[in-house]
Structure 1
Amino acid sequence: MDSDDLGLFGPGSVTWKLHEEPILIVAGLRSLYLQALHPRAMAGVAQNSNYRRDAWGRLVRTATYVGTTVYGTTAEAEEAGRRLRTLHSRLRATDPFTGEEFRIDQPDLLRWVHVTEVESFLSTARRAGLALTDAEVDRYYTEQRRSAALVGLDPQDVPGTAAEVDDYYRRVRPELRMTKEAAETALFLTAPPIPWKLSRPVRLGLHLGPPRWAYLGIAGTALGLLPAWARRMYGGLGLPTTALSADLSVRALRLALAAVPRRYREGPLQQAAKARAAHATAA
C-alpha cells in the first residue's frame, strides 16, 4: 500500500472537512427517510435486503463503505466501489405499481440514493453549525461526483452544485410517493431494535431504557431536518418552527459529540488516512 496515497479526496478537500463531523450519523438517518419516498428505490431495498433482521449490521457496512470511499486509499475506494457494483448488478426488484421487473442499478435509482445521501451530509452538518461557504458547498458536491462514479454513475450526470441539487429535487419530486413500504420503513427507522440488550424491559414488554429514548431523539431530529415537502409527505408539518426545533436539537447534539475524546470519535480508516497525510507532509 502506498503510504502517501491520500485517496480520492485528501486533507485539503471539503469532503474531509465535512466528514470529520460525527453529527453525520444523524445525516445518514435523514437520507434513509428521504430515500424511502422513492417507490422503486424503496422496492429495491425491501425486496433485496435483510435490513429488518440485521439493521445495525447493515448500518455498520454502509458506514464502512462511506468511510472507505472518503478516507481509504485510491485502491481501497475503487475496490469497494467494484464490489458494490458487482452486488448491485445481480439484483432485481418488482415495481409496486406496474409489476415490472427492473434492475436496481439503473442510473436514476443510483442517482437518487447518491444525491439524497450527499445532500443530507451537507445540509445536516451546516444546520448543526459547521461553517461552510457557498463555494465550499459547491466544491463538496463536485468532489462527490468521484463517489458517484464508484457506484457506476457518469459523474457529468450527477448534480455538482447546490443549484443543481435543488433543480434535481424539483424534477424528481413528482415521482415520490408515501407507499406502504415507505411508511413501514420509516416506522422501523424510528423505532428499530436496540442491539446488545442495551434497553431495560419495562411494562408491556417495551424496551424504553435510556438508549431507546436517546435514539428516538436522534430519529425525531433527523425527521425534522427533512425538507418541508418531505415532512409533509410523512404527515408532518412543513412549518418553520419544526425546522427551527430540529436546528436547535442538531446543534446541541453536535456540541455534545464534540466533547467526546477524538480517539473515540475517529475510526481506524480516518486515523490511517490522517497518518498517511502526516507522512506525506513530513516527506
Structure 2
Amino acid sequence: MNLRTQLSTALLDRVAGPHGHRIRDRIHGTPGERWFDADAPIRRVHGDASMFIGGLAALLLQSWHPRAMAAVAAHSGYRGDPWGRLQRTSAFLAVTAFGTVDHAVQATRAVREIHAGISGVSAEGEPYAASDPHLLRWVHVAEVHAFLTAHQRFGAEPLDAAGCDLYVAQAARTARELGVLDPPGSVPELRAQLDGFVPELRGSAEARDAARFLLREPPLPVAARLPYRGLVLAAIGMLPRACRAPLGLADRPIMDRYVAPVVGQVLTGTIRWALAAQPPPPTPDA
C-alpha cells in the first residue's frame, strides 16, 4: 500500500468509520429521488476537502452561544467518543446532500427524536432544550457560515455569488426538516441572522474547555497532530475576532492573514489528493 492510499484510508476511517465504504455506497448508490441535483452547490460544498476546516470552525463558532454549548457539554459525549460523533455528523451531512429523499427524511427524523430528549439547565442557571427552534437556528447559521466560508477560501471550485446564495437556500431545506423556523435563504439573510445573535453570545467554561480539547488534546497519533494543528489554525483564522477571547483563543491577526490561509490551502490540497485515490462512489443506476 503506497503513501497516498494509506493516507486516504486513514482519513476515511476517521471521518466515516470502519464501515465508511459501505455507508458511502448506500448513500450514493441507492436508487431514488434526491433533494438536490447532481450539480447543486450543497453537493460541491459538502463534498469538498475544505469541510475538514469548515467542520472545526463550525464547532468552535457554535460553542460561542452559552446555552447551545451547555447542551453539547452535557449530552453530546464529544470527549468520550469524539470520532463517533464526527462520523455520525459526517454521515448526516452526506445523506442529506447526496442520499435519497427517504434516507434524508429518516436521518432528520432520527435527529429530531434525539433532540426531543435533550434538555437541562446551564451552569449559569439558564434552561436549554436541543429542540428549541431558536437554538437550532443558531447551530444552523453558525454551521452554514463556517462551511461556506471554508469552501470559498479553501475549496477546489469556489462558488460565485449566485451559487453562495443557492447554497444557503439549499441548506435551509435540511434546517426546516430539523425544526429550524425561518432559516436564511441567501447570504445577506445569513449575515443578518448571525448579527442578530450577537447580544446572546458570550464565552463559558464549557466552551473554553471544548476549545482546549479540540486544540490541545485531540485523540490522534503523534504523526497526525502537526497537520491537525494546521487545520485548527486555518479554522481559527476564519472566526470573528470578537469570539477569540470568550473562547480562550489567542488573537493573532498576522498569523490569520498570512500563515493560516497558506497552511489551509496546502492541507486541503493534500487531503483532496489523498482522497482521490479512493474508488468513486457508485451511481444509483449502476
Quickly name the TM-score band, shorter chain normalised. 0.7 to 0.9
Aligned residue for 2:48, secondary structure, equals: coil
| Partner in structure 1 of residue 199 of structure 2 | 174
| Partner in structure 1 of residue 225 of structure 2 | 212
Q: Matches of residues 38-77 of structure 1 in structure 2 within 5 Å? A: 38-77=65-104
Aligned residue for 2:120, secondary structure, equals: strand
Determine the C-alpha separation between the residues in 2 that align with 1:4 and 1:54: 33
How big is each residue's C-alpha offset from its partner over 1:68-116, in whole Å with a ceiling of 9 and x where there is no partner?
111110000000000110111111121332x243322101111111111
1:119 alignment partner, one of 121, 129, 145: 145
| Partner in structure 2 of residue 192 of structure 1 | 217
The alpha-carbon distance between structure 1 residues 50 and 3, as it changes in their structure 2 partners (threshold 3 A), is closer
- Is 1:96 aligned with 2:123? yes
Deviation at 1:194, TM superposition (A): 2.3
The alpha-carbon distance between structure 1 residues 250 and 193, as it changes in their structure 2 partners (threshold 3 A), is closer
Deviation at 1:49, TM superposition (A): 2.1
1:105 alignment partner, one of 131, 144, 168: 131
| Partner in structure 2 of residue 134 of structure 1 | 161
Aligned residue for 1:102, secondary structure, equals: strand
Deviation at 1:237, TM superposition (A): 2.4
Which deviates more, 241-250 or 64-73?
241-250
Return the TM-score normalized by structure 1.
0.83
Deviation at 1:238, TM superposition (A): 6.4
For structure 1, list consecutive stretches of 5 or more residues without a partner in the other structure: 200-208
Return the TM-score normalized by structure 2.
0.83
Deviation at 1:131, TM superposition (A): 2.3
Determine the C-alpha separation between the residues in 2 that align with 1:232 and 1:111: 24
Determine the C-alpha separation between the residues in 2 that align with 1:37 and 1:100: 15
Determine the C-alpha separation between the residues in 2 that align with 1:38 and 1:31: 12
| Partner in structure 1 of residue 7 of structure 2 | none
Which deviates more, 110-119 or 123-132?
123-132
How big is each residue's C-alpha offset from its partner over 1:176-231, in whole Å with a ceiling of 9 and x where there is no partner?
11111110010011133425xxx3xxxxxxxxx22122212211221112123333
| Partner in structure 2 of residue 227 of structure 1 | 240
Which deviates more, 105-114 or 220-229?
220-229
Deviation at 1:5, TM superposition (A): 2.3
Determine the C-alpha separation between the residues in 2 that align with 1:33 and 1:46: 13
Aligned residue for 2:35, secondary structure, equals: coil
Identity of aligned residues (%): 32
Which deviates more, 131-140 or 251-260?
251-260
Q: Matches of residues 240-251 of structure 1 in structure 2 within 5 Å? A: 242-251=256-265
Which deviates more, 59-68 or 12-21?
12-21
Which deviates more, 244-253 or 60-69?
244-253
Give the AA of the match of 1:172: F
Aligned residue for 2:128, secondary structure, equals: strand
- Is 1:143 aligned with 2:170? yes
Give the AA of the match of 1:101: P
| Partner in structure 1 of residue 51 of structure 2 | 24
Determine the C-alpha separation between the residues in 2 that align with 1:3 and 1:257: 27
| Partner in structure 2 of residue 204 of structure 1 | none
How big is each residue's C-alpha offset from its partner over 1:17-36, in whole Å with a ceiling of 9 and x where there is no partner?
22221221111111000011
Deviation at 1:260, TM superposition (A): 1.9
Aligned residue for 2:231, secondary structure, equals: helix
Determine the C-alpha separation between the residues in 1 that align with 2:203 and 2:279: 35
Contact 2:67 2:127 in 1 (8 A): no
The alpha-carbon distance between structure 1 residues 102 and 18, as it changes in their structure 2 partners (threshold 3 A), is closer
For structure 2, list consecutive stretches of 5 or more residues without a partner in the other structure: 1-25
Contact 1:232 1:238 in 2 (8 A): no
